[in-house]
Amino acid sequence: MVLQEPDRSTDIILGSELENFDSVTNPIELSIGLRFDTWEIAERYLKEYGRQNGFVVNRHRVEFVEFHDCQSENSVRIAKKRTFACEYSGKYKPNKSKPIEQ
């Protein structure tokens, strides 16, 4: 998933139409190169995709870039990369095809 300035000529753009939605009735799809205007819209889209497909999407990790303003001595943290994960990722699934005695 990439958050960049959208190239409106070739990419699928999901922007302000998703800012205030509760749920979408039409099936939505994920694809490589899908771009979003903000991280919040990306997260809502992923959570809706998970809801439509029977699982929960959770925030897993975030990496920040910190910018320092030398004049005011303030710093601003901006999210550089976010990782989302399925609720089932990393969970142990035992092999129940063998009898317990084995």
Q: Is residue 2 part of a domain?
A: no
**DSSP code of residue 95:** -
Note whether residue 5 is domain-resident. Answer: no
Owning domain of residue 77: 13-86
Residue 82 within any structural domain of the chain: yes
Distance CA 78, CA 38 (A): 12
Domain membership flag for residue 42: yes
Could you tell me if residue 6 is inside a domain?
no
Dump the DSSP string for 2-57: B-----TTTS-EE-GGGTT-S--SS-----TT-EESSHHHHHHHHHHHHHHTT--E
Quick: pLDDT tens for 12-69.
Answer: 445 555 555 555 678 889 899 999 988 899 999 999 999 999 999 999 999 999 988 7
pTM equals 0.59
| Number of domains the chain is built from | 1
- Residue 58's H or E segment, with its range, is strand 57-69
In a domain, 94, yes or no: no
The answer, yes or no, to whether residue 83 has pLDDT greater than 70, is yes
